[in-house]
Amino acid sequence: MIIGRNNICLVAALLLVGSISLQCSGFVPIAISRRMVCKPIHSKSFTVLSEEKPSEISGIDSILDSSVPDIDVLVDEKNTKVGERGEAFVLVQGMLFLFITIGTVPLFGDFITTFLGPSLLMTGLFIVYKSGTDLKNNLSHWATPTEQGSLVDTGIYGMMRHPMYTGVLLIFLGLSVATDSAMRMLLTAALYLLLDAKSNYEETKLAEAYGEEYEEYKVKVANKFFPAELKDVLTS
C-alpha cells in the first residue's frame, strides 16, 4: 500500500511510541533480530514498511535505548517502601517554598508574631537576669574577666558557658519575630556571629586567668549558647 509523505511521519511516530510503551511495560525487549521501519523509494510517495537488518537501523536503536528508562530501575522504585525515599523532606521543603512565597504560615502566622515573638523576648530577658545574678561581682562589661573575680560554674553557667549572650540573642530574635521584621532578623544573625567571635576571645582570656580549672569547665559544660540537652534534641 502506498501512502502520502505527510502520513508516513505519523506512522513512524506511532511505531516509535508503541515500541517504547511496550518496552516500559515489560512485554517486548528493545532489541529484536529484525525490525520494520519506514524507507523512502525513488518516487513521490513512500512505501509503508520494509524490512531492514539490525545493523542498518543502529541509529533508531540508539535513540530508543537512550529514551527508554531502565526496567530494573523502574521495578526497584516500585518496590521501595513509602517513606524510604525522603518524602518527608520533599513535603516540608515544598511547604516552606509556599510559605516563603506567600510571606506567612497559614493558620499560624498570627500565632507566631503575637505569641512566639514575645515569648522568646521574655525568655531572653529572664536568662539575662539569671546570668547576671549568678555572676554577681564577676560581671564585667569587657571581654576580659575581672581582676578579683572567680570562675562561676554553677547555676545557669552549669548548663551553658555564655548564657548572657543566649539571652541577648533570644531578646532580639523575639523582637524580630514580633515585629515581623526581616531586617531585624538579619541583624540578629550578624549579632550572633559577633557574639560567637567575642566569646572565643573571652574564653582565651579566661583560660589565661584560670588555667586548668577553666579547661576542665569547658569539658564539663561543652556548649556555649545552649544546654547540651536542648542541642541533642535539635540535632538528633
pLDDT for 1 beyond 60: no
Stronger pLDDT, 10 or 179, i.e. the higher one:
179
The three three-digit cell numbers of residue 111, written as one number: 500565632
What pLDDT does residue 128 have? Answer: 94
What pLDDT does residue 112 have? Answer: 74
What pLDDT does residue 39 have? Answer: 44
CA angle 92, 96, 101 (to 5 degrees): 150
Q: What percent of the chain has pLDDT over 90?
A: 30
Q: Which of 46-50, 199-203, 232-236 has the highest mean pLDDT?
A: 199-203
Residue pair 117/188 in contact by the 8 Å Cβ criterion: no
Q: What percent of the chain has pLDDT over 70?
A: 60
pLDDT for 11 beyond 70: no
d(CA 221, CA 224): 8
d(CA 36, CA 11): 11
